Structure 1
Amino acid sequence: MLNHEPLRLADGEYRFACLVWDNEPLPSGQLVALAAEGLGWKKSTTYTVLKKLCERGVLQNADGRVTSLIKKEDVQQAESAAVVDKTFDGSLPRFVAAFLNSKPISDAEAAEIRALLDAARYKEE
């Protein structure tokens, strides 16, 4: 089984990484400005979190240009799997049932979910 630890981000780390994903490649100075505006962070906080995420292999800061090494979708997938594992004992049907009991979905959302289920089922065959 793969180690998904680099893909699990704390809330602040995720919001910070989103700034990179949405704007990459970007100069580190621009990232400082975006973090100040969007997250209310000081320059020192930005560079501390940037360094941490670089050490974990999530982001890269080369020659003052920040880019991602891991896709946003991969982080979202790892986080979703962790929620299903932790909260629903790994049961995707229990997760879906809990979600569907919390709010109604539109016909378009239901059709999209059916298409995803069909695609996943055919992938296994």
Structure 2
Amino acid sequence: MDFPKIHESEYRFCLIMWEHEPVTATQLVKLCQDQLGWKRTTTYTVIKRLGERGVLKNDNGTVTSLVSKDEAQACEIDELVEKKFEGSLPAFIAAFTKHQAMSEDELDEVQRMIDRIRKGGSQ
């Protein structure tokens, strides 16, 4: 199944939706106006577009997600690794760690993830 594309401004909208769902379209208009500076029509257009692409469901004015935040993030990372690092996760991690300092706690957490994967568990 193809994962629906969520563009950057739509992703910012989705962050608000995920935080407040289930949420009414009216509440989303107010939240998007306050947090994104959007007009009412912009919010309704985004709700309509994301509904058509299967990202969310608008049921009589109540908006809920059909795609989770974790799924959207995983898809973005997969796309990034494929496009920019020729599908190589080690190349991505090398580039990330070269320019991003990691604390001992973060390194320990990454090691625990690797250990779980090696043992056949999920992340």
Q: TM-score, normalised by structure 1?
A: 0.93
Question: What is the alpha-carbon distance in structure 1 between the residues aligned to residue 90 and residue 40 of structure 2?
Answer: 44
C-alpha distance after superposition, 1:66-124 (max 9, x if no partner): 11111110000000000000000000000000001002211000000011111222228
- Give the alignment partner of residue 10 of structure 2, picking from 10, 13, 16: 13
The CA distance in 2 between the partners of 1:62 and 1:78, in whole Å, is 26
Q: Kindly report structure 1 stretches of 4+ aligned residues shifted beyond 6 Å.
A: none
Distance in 1 of aligned mates of 2:107 and 2:86:
24
Read off the aligned partner of 1:40 and give its amino acid letter: G
Match among 60, 64, 75 for residue 63 of structure 1? 60
Give matches, 1:79-94, under 5 Å: 79-94=76-91
State the match for 1:118 in structure 2. 115
Alpha-carbon RMSD: 1.1
Secondary structure of the corresponding residue to residue 119 of structure 2: helix
Matched residue, 2:2: 3
Partner of 1:102: 99
Distance of 2:12 and 2:57 partners within structure 1? 16
Q: Tell me how many residue pairs correspond in the alignment.
A: 121
% identity of equivalent residues: 44
Give the secondary-structure state (helix, strand or coil) at the position aligned to 1:123.
coil
- 1:51 lines up with 2:71 in the alignment: no
Unpaired runs of 5+ residues, structure 1, are: none
Partners of 1:104 and 1:55 in 2: how far apart?
Answer: 40
| Structure 2 segments unaligned to the other structure (5+ residues) | none
Give the secondary-structure state (helix, strand or coil) at the position aligned to 2:120.
Answer: helix
Partner of 1:36: 33
| TM-score, normalised by the number of residues in structure 2 | 0.94
Whole-Å separation in 2 of the counterparts to 1:103 and 1:29: 40
